[in-house]
Structure 1
C-alpha cells in the first residue's frame, strides 16, 4: 500500500506544479490535500463552453481538457468521446449517463462525482481518483482501470475484460492497480477481468460475477464475497484474511482455491 500512496503524493505534487497552484505540504495520503481550494471546487469552463468546443471539432480532432478545472459541472448525458481529460479536476461533476468511451482520464481527480450509468468502455484510468464517487451501473468493459475507488459506490457496474492489475514489470512509479478499499461492488461483473493484485480490502462483492477473472495475489482481506459467482476464477495467492467466502456460487469450479493466502482466517459461516 505504501508504494501506491507515495505515487499518489508524487502525482499530486506534479499536478500542483503544472497548474501553478500555491505549494502545499503533501502527505502520503489524501488527508493532506486541500480539497476545498478553488482548484478542487471551481470550474474554469461551463457546459456550454464544452459543447461549443466539441461542435467546432473537425475530422479526428479531440477537445483537449487536460489539466482543466471542471469541478461541479453538470455534464450528464453528454457525448464526451472526443475529449481528453488527463489530469483534469472533475470533482463533484455530474456525468450521469455520459459517454466517455475510450477517453483518457489518467491522473484525473473525480472525487465525489456522479458517474451513474456512464459509459467508459476502453477508457484509460491510470491513477484516476474516484474516492467517494457514485458509479452504479457504469460500464468499464475492456478499460485500463488502475484507479482508486476507495469508499465509492460501484454497484451493478461492468468490468468485463477490463485490466485492473498491477504492471509487475514496471514498478518505477509504484504499485498502481485497481483499488477498491471499502467500496460497494455488489452485483458488479468482472467476467474475464485481469484483477491480479487488485486491492479490495473491506469491499463488498455480494452477488458479484467473477467468472474467469484472474485474482492472483488479490488483496481481499475482510471483503464480503457472499453469493459471488467464482466459476473459473483464479485465486492463486489471493489474501482472504477475515473475508467472507462461505457462500460462493460455483466454488467447486474455481481455480487454485487450495492456494488461498490466510484461508484459515477466512469466514466460512
Structure 2
C-alpha cells in the first residue's frame, strides 16, 4: 500500500479504509505523516514506516505495530495500551504522556528515546534496547525489563534499580 504514495495520501487512504472496516495496513509508508485525534484501535501496522511522524491523541489501543519503524517519531498523548510493538524501532523517538500500559515491547529499540510521563506499567520490555534512553519521568511499575540492555547514559527514575530488574549493562565506548 505504501509504494508510490505520499504520506498524506496514505494517511487519507488509511483513515477512509479504516472507517470502512479494514484493519490490515501492514508495511504502509507513513513516513513524516501527521496523525491527530483519530481512532485506530486494533489496527495492524506490522512493519509500517512511521519514521519522523507526528502522532497526537491517537487511539492505537491493542494495535499491532510489530517491527514498525518509529525512528524520530513524536508521540504525544498516544494510547498504545495493550499494543504489540515487538521489535519496533523507536530510536530517537519522543514520547510524552503516552500510554503503553500492558504493551508488549519485546526486543524494541528505545535507543536515545525520551519517555516523558509515559506510562509503561505492566509493559513487557524483555530484551529491549534502552541505551541512551531517558526514562526519568516514565511510570514503570510492574514493568518487565528482563534482559533489556542499558548503558551509563540511560536515565531512570531515582528509585529504580536496573540490576534488580534483571537488565543487562552494556559498556559503550564514546570517544
TM-score (norm 1): 0.56
Within the candidate set 182, 206, 217, 2:126 is matched to 206
2:111 alignment partner in structure 1: 191
Measured on the aligned residues, the alpha-carbon RMSD in Å equals 2.4
CA distance, structure 1, for counterparts of residue 112 and residue 86 of structure 2: 18
Highest relative contact order (Cα 8 Å, sep 6+), 1 or 2? 2
Q: Which runs of 5+ in 2 are unaligned?
A: none
Shift of 1:116: 0.1
CA distance, structure 2, for counterparts of residue 203 and residue 210 of structure 1: 14
Q: Secondary structure of 1:145's match?
A: strand
1:234 alignment partner in structure 2: 155
Q: Which runs of 5+ in 1 are unaligned?
A: 1-75, 166-176, 254-269
2:165 alignment partner in structure 1: 246
Shift of 1:235: 0.6
Computing the radius of gyration from Cα coordinates, the structure with the larger value is 1
Equivalences for 1:13-52 in 2 at 5 Å? Answer: none
1:132 alignment partner in structure 2: 62
Shift of 1:189: 0.3
CA distance, structure 1, for counterparts of residue 145 and residue 36 of structure 2: 29
Shift of 1:246: 3.2
Q: Does the 8 Å CA contact 2:2/2:30 hold for their aligned counterparts?
A: no
Within the candidate set 143, 148, 164, 1:223 is matched to 143
Q: Does the 8 Å CA contact 1:200/1:218 hold for their aligned counterparts?
A: yes
Alignment of 1:163 with 2:94, yes or no, is yes
Equivalences for 1:100-139 in 2 at 5 Å? Answer: 100-139=30-69
Alignment of 1:81 with 2:7, yes or no, is yes
Within the candidate set 66, 81, 99, 1:179 is matched to 99
**Greater strand share, 1 or 2?**
2
Question: Deviating runs (4+, > 2 A) in structure 1?
Answer: 76-80, 82-85, 88-93, 236-240, 243-246
Within the candidate set 79, 83, 87, 1:152 is matched to 83
**Greater helix share, 1 or 2?**
1
CA distance, structure 2, for counterparts of residue 80 and residue 205 of structure 1: 33
